[in-house]
């Protein structure tokens, strides 16, 4: 068992104390069949191994004890001094080796060096006053190991911003045992994306999953700027029961540096399906897993990541409860209620008047 | 649909018989061919070929199957239960193949039929278990009686005890009587065949319609799986072979199953130290479970396991090899039940309380009646017809021995009503003390007929005749034969999937890629190699043992309730049925991708 890192797709049980809230939830979603963008946690053990060095701790205490919390300039100066200590503190080899290994594994999965997001994952964010959680940092579109390691340190150091120090002081939160985990997670490179609902929104049939899908990022599907492909899947059998392939004229694509480009879809792709057969079923399974996990009809956002291998490239971006149909009765019409010979007769007669 | 697609199939009257088949009409009853003076009314009806049940050209005697089956099917709809919207299915033989045309009921007559149907069919649904037990007893009694018939040569002298007992009759009376009983008992079991079958289908249809309304777009396969039985007697013969293979491994007899034929294998096993126990089990399994054919019971030359032990012993030998490797031979019953329950539960949980009650009620009834839809096939097509054809061949052999023709199966070139006069000819010459006339007449006549049949066999049947209805919505046609509006359009040449793919019924779920093996007749079954995809015009349920070898099935003919579909679901193999042309489009060795969930077959490489 790795001590300093924890891949989100690990089969081990995620412990909140080691992973923090964000990473724990990412790991739980992955194991529940709702793969989020792949990545790993740098655990609180890594933080502890670096920051709980006795000499460093003594140094931090000395600085903290001499800061005048009422003096903004003094506070800013002291906080910066502590953060600088953390940013330059040597990282033990065993910690570095594990983080290096986890990062390398992630890049290999992605078929080369790709940008990641580095986010802090606080262990205390589920405390009653969770506003504390918002004080940690998020860094997007980070490329290269040097920069990733730098941002991990910045996440560690973020426990000593001026705001964090005053917050702890004001709420009597001791600095002892203070720790933080860090999430390193692939930035999604959407080849196709869209939304899915675990209900047929035209009649409230709960045995269907409908998918809207288009090329590139999902914003154009959500905003209605492009007519997406539409798939209806039987939720129980996981087979496609209807499909409409639309003319998808434009797409939004990430440039890899945090900006987004809008471009025309070439002639060949615009009228072809934005999802393969396997991908349609993967998105449907993802939606079904989300519905099972949250226990109610779900409305999800998903993406197909172009950097990831088939079978692992369908990602869940967001899941929220569906609110319209969940409140009312299905509108599917049934001709023959009841059972037995009367019902049999009724449906036999009805079947003759129906076109298949 | 392509705008160029033809709107109509050819008229049977415009078709030319293959060279050498001239005069084929005279081989079949006058009421079963398209007659010139009725052209106008015959051309006004749409006829489709049922090559699912009758894939080969009929010899005259073999018409008995289609006649008895179709007549009795019709009688139950039209005269027993007064099924409101459906009468029987009219049938004709054209150039050796069978064509069906369902007969509807005029809309204004339907309401008056409803109360009769409620009373009659209602009685059956209310007393299903008791009536079915009664059915089983009678069917078995008829089989036993057929089995007791024994056609033997007339003796040189009337037995002395008949003289002293004052019997006053010679054995010709028994001979005539036995032939009449043979035909009559076969007829009685065909009557029984449809006593429950049509009701089984209408109850299934009720559930089917409900599901289509409550879960619009639900795959047919899902509904079939909800009622799927896992203990049908139809699968028992194959299960017996597997049990025998497991027993052989347990008794340490594996090494003795390498012989080329059943005689060698059985002799080797009998001589082995534990052999007696296995032989006893083998003997016990034969009656009734080896009354099982690789055909479908409609042809006099269909081979039954009981009559050719090379077949079951060959299958057992294959199974022994697999069992010795530790493979589990028996179907994964628990998994099949688990999957059935999961599917049912997931659909049920999507309904509100009231709808769920309706759903469970209909499903409950469908599950009571549905096993019959699978089971009857063993009792009638396999067991009854196996015993029946054996007796017909016995009579054929007797008459061959008496010089009427060359070999036992030559009798199949006579229709059943021509056999009675032959018996009289035989018994008459025996009585008069002279030579029968038949031996100077039949050999030439049989040779003439055989030529015609061979000529007919050179041509595959046209899929249908005349103009199809705008919509095909007769539920039996869709469910049993897989004949839908789309299917008919495909036959007419309208494009289906466009890119070298075939479309059919999503009959049994799953996706598989593999090599194709095209099997045009049961004799070729031995060519199948482990893991291949079976492609055939139609399959018979008794091909069971090969289903352990193959990875998927594709057929030309057959709906969701066709035997191929049922067997594949039981074996957990993907199947696409009713593609119309798989066996002629696909060649052995091609790589295929069979998607049994969506009903498509893709040719990946040639």
Report the residue from A207, A277, A348 with minimal CB separation from B218: A207
The span from the first CA to the last CA of chain A, in angstroms, equals: 58
Tokens encoding A181: 């985990």
Is A128 or B519 the better-scoring residue by pLDDT? B519
B432 in the same domain as B285: no
Tell me the nearest-neighbour CA distance from A151 into chain B, angstroms.
46
Three-state DSSP class for residue A210: strand
Asked if residue B551 lies in contact with residue B510, where contact means CB atoms within 8 angstroms, the answer is no
Asked if residue B66 lies in contact with residue B93, where contact means CB atoms within 8 angstroms, the answer is yes
State pLDDT tens for residues B169-226: 999 999 999 999 999 999 999 999 999 998 988 888 889 889 988 999 999 889 989 9
Report the residue of A208, A337, A341, A346 to disrupt the B interface, i.e. the one with the largest count of B CBs within 10 Å: A341
Asked if residue A283 lies in contact with residue A196, where contact means CB atoms within 8 angstroms, the answer is yes
Domain termination site, one of B456, B486, B516 = B456
Q: How far is CA B373 from CA A277, B102, B481, in A?
A: 34, 20, 15
Instruction: Provide the residue range defining the domain that includes A231.
Output: 190-327
Domain termination site, one of B407, B441, B456 = B456
A252 in the same domain as A168: no
B447 in the same domain as B379: yes
User: Using CB atoms within 10 A of its CB, is residue B486 exposed (0-12), middle (13-18) or buried (19+)?
Assistant: middle
DSSP code for B558? -
Question: Which of the listed ranges B358-367, B496-505, B574-583 does the model predict with the highest average pLDDT?
Answer: B358-367
**Domain membership flag for residue A148:** yes
State pLDDT tens for residues B116-173: 999 999 999 999 999 999 999 999 999 999 999 999 999 999 999 999 999 999 999 9
Question: Hey, are the CB atoms on A240 and B598 less than 8 Å from each other?
Answer: yes
What is the reported pLDDT for B379? 96
Angle subtended at Cα B66 by Cα B172 and Cα B188, rounded to the nearest 5 degrees = 55
A292 in the same domain as A197: yes
Tell me how crowded residue B165 is: count the other CB atoms within 10 A of its CB.
9
Tell me how crowded residue B261 is: count the other CB atoms within 10 A of its CB.
11
Domain termination site, one of A136, A171, A186 = A186
**Domain membership flag for residue B349:** no
Asked if residue B300 lies in contact with residue B59, where contact means CB atoms within 8 angstroms, the answer is yes
For residue B517, what are the β-bridge partners?
B534
Report the residue of A230, A237, A285 to disrupt the B interface, i.e. the one with the largest count of B CBs within 10 Å: A237
In this prediction the pTM is 0.78
Interface contact A327, partner B, CB < 8 A = no
What is the reported pLDDT for B166? 97
**Domain membership flag for residue A333:** no
What is the reported pLDDT for A133? 40
Q: Which residues contact B1 (CB under 8 A, 6 or more apart)?
A: B489, B494, B495
Write out B186-216 in H/E/C secondary structure. Answer: HHHHHHHHHHHHHHHHHHHHHHHHHHHHHCC
Q: How far is CA B520 from the centre of its chain?
A: 16
Q: Could you tell me which of B99, B78, B83, B73 has the C-alpha nearest to residue B9? A: B99
Q: Which residues of A touch B598 (CB under 8 A)?
A: 239-240, 277
Number of domains within chain B? 3
Q: What is the DSSP string of B226-265?
A: HH--S--GGGHHHHHHHHHHHHHHHTT-GGGTT-SSHHHH
Asked if residue B162 lies in contact with residue B154, where contact means CB atoms within 8 angstroms, the answer is no
Question: Hey, are the CB atoms on A351 and B222 less than 8 Å from each other?
Answer: no
What is the reported pLDDT for B2? 40
A219 in the same domain as A181: no
CB pairs under 8 A between A and B: 135
Three-state DSSP class for residue B113: helix
**Domain membership flag for residue A102:** yes
Domain termination site, one of B288, B310, B330 = B330
Q: Tell me how far apart the alpha carbons of residues B449 and B312 are, in angstroms, rounded to a whole number.
A: 33
Report the residue of B119, B127, B212, B217 to disrupt the A interface, i.e. the one with the largest count of A CBs within 10 Å: B217
Q: Which residues contact A236 (CB under 8 A, 6 or more apart)?
A: A207, B222, B343, B346, B347
Q: What is the mean pLDDT of chain B?
A: 90
What is the reported pLDDT for B485? 77
Residue A269 preceded by cis peptide, ω within 30:
no
Q: Could you tell me which of B389, B421, B445 has the C-alpha nearest to residue B27? A: B445
Q: Could you tell me which of B376, B366, B388 has the C-alpha nearest to residue B298? A: B388
Domain termination site, one of A186, A201, A232 = A186
The mean per-residue pLDDT over the stretch B316-342 comes to 91
Asked if residue A135 lies in contact with residue A167, where contact means CB atoms within 8 angstroms, the answer is yes
B395 in the same domain as B320: no
Number of domains within chain A? 2
Q: Could you tell me which of B397, B485, B323 has the C-alpha nearest to residue B151? A: B397
Nearest CA in chain A to B205: A348
DSSP code for B553? E
Strands B552-555 and B591-595: unpaired
Interface contact A349, partner B, CB < 8 A = yes
Question: Hey, are the CB atoms on B213 and A334 less than 8 Å from each other?
Answer: yes
**Domain membership flag for residue B21:** no
Instruction: Provide the residue range defining the domain that includes B430.
Output: 127-230+361-456
DSSP code for B470? S
Tell me how crowded residue A1 is: count the other CB atoms within 10 A of its CB.
5
Tell me the nearest-neighbour CA distance from A37 into chain B, angstroms.
28
Tokens encoding B84: 């409101």
State pLDDT tens for residues B261-309: 899 999 999 999 999 999 999 999 998 999 998 778 899 988 889 989 9
A262 in the same domain as A158: no
**Domain membership flag for residue B338:** no
Is B476 or B588 the better-scoring residue by pLDDT? B588
Interface contact A236, partner B, CB < 8 A = yes
| Backbone angles phi and psi of B145, in degrees to 5 | -70, -40
Asked if residue B78 lies in contact with residue B513, where contact means CB atoms within 8 angstroms, the answer is no
A104 in the same domain as A30: yes
pLDDT along chain A (356 residues), means of 10: 91 92 92 93 96 94 91 92 95 96 96 93 59 63 94 92 85 84 94 94 91 91 86 95 91 82 91 94 96 93 94 92 77 77 84 54
Question: Hey, are the CB atoms on B216 and A238 less than 8 Å from each other?
Answer: no
Tell me the longest C-alpha to C-alpha distance in chain A: 90
A273 in the same domain as A261: yes
Angle subtended at Cα A335 by Cα A332 and Cα A339, rounded to the nearest 5 degrees = 110
Q: Tell me how far apart the alpha carbons of residues B339 and A238 are, in angstroms, rounded to a whole number.
A: 13
B519 in the same domain as B583: yes
Tokens encoding B313: 């012993």
State pLDDT tens for residues B224-273: 899 987 778 888 998 999 999 999 999 999 999 988 889 999 999 999 99
The mean per-residue pLDDT over the stretch B411-430 comes to 98
Write out B25-62 in H/E/C secondary structure. Answer: HHHCCHHHCCCHHHHHHHHCCCEEECCCCCCCCCCHHH
Tokens encoding B76: 């139950």
B594 in the same domain as B507: yes
The total number of residues written for chain B in this structure: 606
Tell me the nearest-neighbour CA distance from A87 into chain B, angstroms.
54
Query: Sorting pLDDT into bands at 50, 70 and 90, what band is B109?
Result: very high
Domain termination site, one of A123, A157, A186 = A186
């Amino acid at each position: 068992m790795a001590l300093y890192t924890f891949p989100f797709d690990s089969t081990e049980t995620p412990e909140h104390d080691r992973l923090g809230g964000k990473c724990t939830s990412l790991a739980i979603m992955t194991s529940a069949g709702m793969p989020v963008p792949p990545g790993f946690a740098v655990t609180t053990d890594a933080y502890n191994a670096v920051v709980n060095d006795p000499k460093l701790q003594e140094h931090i205490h000395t600085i903290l004890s001499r800061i005048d919390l009422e003096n903004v300039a003094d506070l800013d100066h002291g906080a910066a001094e502590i953060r600088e200590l953390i940013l330059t503190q040597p990282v033990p080899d065993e910690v570095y080796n594990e983080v290096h290994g986890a990062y390398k594994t992630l890049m290999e999965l992605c078929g080369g060096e790709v940008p990641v997001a580095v986010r802090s994952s606080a262990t205390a964010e589920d405390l009653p006053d969770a506003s504390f959680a918002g004080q940690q940092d998020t860094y997007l579109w980070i490329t290269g190991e040097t920069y990733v390691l730098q941002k991990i340190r910045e996440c560690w150091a973020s426990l000593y911003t001026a705001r964090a120090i005053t917050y702890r002081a004001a709420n009597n939160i001791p600095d002892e045992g203070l720790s933080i985990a860090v999430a390193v997670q692939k930035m999604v490179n959407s080849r196709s994306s869209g939304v899915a609902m675990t209900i047929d929104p035209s009649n409230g049939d709960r045995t269907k999953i409908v998918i809207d899908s288009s090329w590139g990022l999902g914003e154009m599907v959500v905003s209605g700027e492009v007519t997406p492909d539409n798939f209806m899947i039987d939720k129980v059998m996981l087979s496609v029961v209807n499909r409409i392939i639309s003319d998808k004229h434009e797409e939004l694509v990430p440039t890899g540096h945090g900006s987004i480009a809008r471009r025309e879809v070439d002639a060949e792709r615009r009228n072809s399906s934005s999802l393969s057969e396997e991908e349609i079923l993967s998105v449907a399974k993802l939606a079904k897993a989300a519905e099972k996990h949250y226990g109610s009809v779900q409305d999800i956002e998903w993406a197909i990541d172009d950097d990831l291998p088939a079978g692992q490239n369908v990602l869940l971006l967001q899941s929220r409860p569906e609110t319209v149909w969940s409140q009312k009765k299905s509108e599917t019409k049934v001709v023959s209620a009841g059972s037995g010979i009367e019902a049999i007769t009724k449906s036999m007669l009805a079947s003759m008047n129906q076109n298949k | 649909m392509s705008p160029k697609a033809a709107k109509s199939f050819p008229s049977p009257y415009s078709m030319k018989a293959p060279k050498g088949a001239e005069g084929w009409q005279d081989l079949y009853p006058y009421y079963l061919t398209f007659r010139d003076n009725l052209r106008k009314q015959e051309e006004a009806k749409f006829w489709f070929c049922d090559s699912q049940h009758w894939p080969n050209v009929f010899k005259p005697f073999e018409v008995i199957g289609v006649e008895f089956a179709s007549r009795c099917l019709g009688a139950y709809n039209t005269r027993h239960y007064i099924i409101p919207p459906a009468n029987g299915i009219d049938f004709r033989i054209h150039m050796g193949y069978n064509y069906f045309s369902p007969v509807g009921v005029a809309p204004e007559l339907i309401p008056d039929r409803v109360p009769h149907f409620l009373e009659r069919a209602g009685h059956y649904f209310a007393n299903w278990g008791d009536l079915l037990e009664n059915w089983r007893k009678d069917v078995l009694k008829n089989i036993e009686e057929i089995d007791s018939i024994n056609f033997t040569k007339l003796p040189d002298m009337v037995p002395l005890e008949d003289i002293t007992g004052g019997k006053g009759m010679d054995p010709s009376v028994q001979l005539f009587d036995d032939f009449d009983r043979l035909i009559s008992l076969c007829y009685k079991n065909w009557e029984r065949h449809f006593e429950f079958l049509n009701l089984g289908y209408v109850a299934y249809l009720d559930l089917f319609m409900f599901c289509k309304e409550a879960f619009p777009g639900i795959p047919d396969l899902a509904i079939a799986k909800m009622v799927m039985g896992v203990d049908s007697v139809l699968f028992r013969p194959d299960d017996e072979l597997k049990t025998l293979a497991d027993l052989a491994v347990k008794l340490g007899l594996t090494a003795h199953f390498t012989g080329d034929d059943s005689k060698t294998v059985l002799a080797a096993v009998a001589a082995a130290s534990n052999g007696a126990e296995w032989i006893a089990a083998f003997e016990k399994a034969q009656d009734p479970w080896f009354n099982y054919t690789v055909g479908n019971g409609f042809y006099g030359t269909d081979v039954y396991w009981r009559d050719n032990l090379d077949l079951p012993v060959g299958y057992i030998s294959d199974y022994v090899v697999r069992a010795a490797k530790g493979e589990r031979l028996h179907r994964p019953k628990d998994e099949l039940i688990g999957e059935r329950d999961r599917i049912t539960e997931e659909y049920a949980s999507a309904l509100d309380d009231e709808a769920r009650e309706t759903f469970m009620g209909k499903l409950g009834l469908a599950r009571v009646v549905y096993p019959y839809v699978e089971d009857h096939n063993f009792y009638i097509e396999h067991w009854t017809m196996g015993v029946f054809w054996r007796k017909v061949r016995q009579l054929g052999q007797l008459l061959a021995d008496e010089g009427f023709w060359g070999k036992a199966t030559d009798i199949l070139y006579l229709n059943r009503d021509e056999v009675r006069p032959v018996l009289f000819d035989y018994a008459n010459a025996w009585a008069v003390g002279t030579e029968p006339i038949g031996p100077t007449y039949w050999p030439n006549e049989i040779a003439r007929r055989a030529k015609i049949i061979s000529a007919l066999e050179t041509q595959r049947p046209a899929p249908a005749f005349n103009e199809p209805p705008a919509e095909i919505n007769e539920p039996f046609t869709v469910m049993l034969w897989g004949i839908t509006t789309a299917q008919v359009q495909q036959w007419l040449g309208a494009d289906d999937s466009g890119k070298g793919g075939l479309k059919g019924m999503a009959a049994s779920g799953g996706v598989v890629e593999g090599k194709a093996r095209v099997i045009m007749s049961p004799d070729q079954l031995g060519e199948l190699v482990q893991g291949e995809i079976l492609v055939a015009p139609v399959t018979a349920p008794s091909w069971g043992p090969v289903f352990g070898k193959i990875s998927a099935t594709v057929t030309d003919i057959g709906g969701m309730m066709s035997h191929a579909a049922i067997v594949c679901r039981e074996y957990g193999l993907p199947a696409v049925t009713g593609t119309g042309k798989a066996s002629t489009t696909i060649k052995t060795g091609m790589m295929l991708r069979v998607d049994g969930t969506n009903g498509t077959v893709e040719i990946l490489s040639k």
